Each structure stands twice: as C-alpha cells, then as structure tokens.
Structure 1
Amino acid sequence: MKLYRFLTGPDDASFCHKVTAAINKGWHIYGSPTYAFNSATGAMQCGQAVVKDVEGVDYEPGIRLSSF
C-alpha cells in the first residue's frame, strides 16, 4: 500500500525537523513544497507532501498515518 501525508507547519526550524523526521522514517518527498500566508495567525506556513510504500498492511480510513 502507498501512504500519503501532507505535512504543515510554521516557517521555522520546527517544520524542517518535521520533514527530516519523516524522511528518516522512510517517507519520501512528493512534489514541491508550498509556502502560504495564514491570515488567521498572521504568519507564513510551509507544506510538503510525503509518500511511503508499506507492505503487508491494508488501507483503512481510520489508519494513523503518522505511526508508519
């Protein structure tokens, strides 16, 4: 099964650490990062899609993607 996650966070080192942690758990960058202004917080937000292939697991809507 192929898993997909979209990681988001503030434009600071914590976002880079979130993406780095995902890569080190076997996730792969998928597409280009995004960068947008969040008018609710008044801050810039980053986003990056990541994917991962997992064998022997069937997809279910309740699956916790961050546990992989």
Structure 2
Amino acid sequence: MSSEPPNGLPRYRILTGKDDAAFCYRVSEALALGYQLYGSPAATFNGDYVVVAQAILWGGRSTPEEI
C-alpha cells in the first residue's frame, strides 16, 4: 500500500462544488485513487443551486501485487 498520495496531492482534501454528476465523479475518482471519505458531507444552497462539500483522507490503495 502506498503511503503517499499520487502526483503530489495532499493527504487531506476537501472537495466542493455544485451538487451534480460532475461532483460525484470527482469524489468517485478520488476514492478510486485510494482516498477515503472523512466525515459527513455538507450541503448548502447559494441562492441558485446546492453546493456540496466532502472531506477525503488518503488511505492508500493496494497494488495488484498486494491483493
């Protein structure tokens, strides 16, 4: 399991954006890299649309050799 996130990404991140499919794909991509959800998501309405936030924490990902 890799101890550091790829591409120099930080270990802790907060993803934010409009509550739409693009945001869901961003979270899904982070999970596929090896991040884990951290805490509950948050949502607010900015007057035009719902804005969501999700904290993620690096958990590492097993390589095929480690499975």
What's the TM-score, normalizing by structure 1?
Answer: 0.67
What RMSD over aligned residues (CA atoms) do the two structures have, in Å?
1.9
Name whichever structure is richer in strand by fraction.
Answer: 1
| Number of residue equivalences | 52
Structure 2: gaps of 5 or more residues: 5-9, 61-67
4+ runs deviating over 4 angstroms: none
Name whichever structure is richer in helix by fraction.
Answer: 2
Structure 1: gaps of 5 or more residues: 55-68
Aligned pairs for 1:21-60 (under 5 A) are: 21-39=29-47, 42-53=48-59
% identity of equivalent residues:
40
What's the TM-score, normalizing by structure 2?
Answer: 0.68
